[in-house]
Structure 1
């Protein structure tokens, strides 16, 4: 198996050195280039292509999301995983819609780090909302009564991830909540939609254009 060439970008030298040290234990990955901000990362990538990019989502100037958008706009499809310590309602959706392959917490275990990189290198998307238009075009949920209450951004994000087939555990890890908290959100979503299970909730949410 060929070695995965990795680009590592974070404005904190300590974080970069820590991640590099973790990855040094794995023969499957080689850190080919490092950058302290998005502009530097973009410039270096032009000179040295890699297999996977691991970038902090928040850096001075150009952050990870903007790097992602610029790469995709330029036709560069190199898999990109965003590093984050932040808990924001719509961060997962913003990143997925911009073309990210997934999220990784900075305190992820070495095994999770390696798995995420390997899966991204293999072309897998670790986290992405489902495309709802084809479902809406083919299927209308029979109960089209309005929900009992409005949905906030976090609930819509979780609904989109449910539509993508993600488990409570996967959703919890991706948006940095406990699994129990996600379970509570899902219960609240079901109550608002008046549905008995996740599948019915997703189909009704798609039909009503909530997602």
Structure 2
């Protein structure tokens, strides 16, 4: 056990929320050296996680971004809205700085990529348990200046025709940019696109 980990109490209880059983088992194994009395509970979807939280109190929840029944960030925001005090760190297969920033904006205390090795994982979890917020990787917006302009007008509620008139673009060009925006944010509606942009701090 590293010196870093000895600052943690002997008895810790963690909740791991991920829909891949093999990953959960491996994660529990990787975290085992954190504390002598470490207890790890698991949940494979949002409903199971809610059930666990009603039955137990936890020192930390490690939450996957993508669950089969509800997005991880929506679940996190619901917990925060009702005053759930357990710290949450996001674990994700994504290494995207955009996802990391969205997680921190939603109230997570850290974003840990699943590609992290056991030592890096334990160090990240230790820092969160000790009250630190892990900084997100720095990232500039991957959107073009034109896409950012369209996003801003979208947020103002303008229809395609008004956007094309205001920016001096063909309506088909506006539609092409909108399609690219929807793909970037992985959404299907204008409202969801604006909401996702707000979450990432791009509006």
TM-score using structure 1 length: 0.57
Q: Which residue of 1 aligns with 2:82?
A: 74
Q: Which residue of 1 aligns with 2:42?
A: 34
Q: Matched residue pairs, number? A: 137
Q: Which residue of 2 aligns with 1:173?
A: none
Q: Secondary structure at the match of 1:67?
A: helix
Taking a change above 3 Å as real, the CA distance of residues 56 and 31 of structure 1, as seen in their structure-2 partners, is farther
C-alpha distance in 2 between matches for 1:88 and 1:74? 28
Q: Which has the larger radius of gyration?
A: 2
Q: Which residue of 2 aligns with 1:200?
A: none
Gaps of 5+ in 1: 130-148, 154-209
Question: Which of the numbers 102, 116, 130 marks the counterpart of 1:108?
Answer: 116
**RMSD over equivalenced CA pairs, Å:** 2.7
Gaps of 5+ in 2: 1-7, 138-143, 149-201
Taking a change above 3 Å as real, the CA distance of residues 47 and 120 of structure 1, as seen in their structure-2 partners, is same
Query: How is 1:130-209 mapped onto 2 (pairs within 5 angstroms)?
Result: 150=145
Question: Which of the numbers 60, 77, 91 marks the counterpart of 2:68?
Answer: 60
C-alpha distance in 2 between matches for 1:121 and 1:151? 42
1:98 matched to 2:99: no
C-alpha distance in 2 between matches for 1:69 and 1:31? 25
Query: How is 1:4-15 mapped onto 2 (pairs within 5 angstroms)?
Result: 4-15=12-23
C-alpha distance in 2 between matches for 1:50 and 1:150? 44
Higher mean C-alpha displacement, 62-71 vs 23-32: 23-32
1:123 matched to 2:118: no
Question: Which of the numbers 38, 55, 59 marks the counterpart of 1:51?
Answer: 59
Q: By how many angstroms is 1:56 displaced?
A: 1.1
Q: By how many angstroms is 1:89 displaced?
A: 6.2
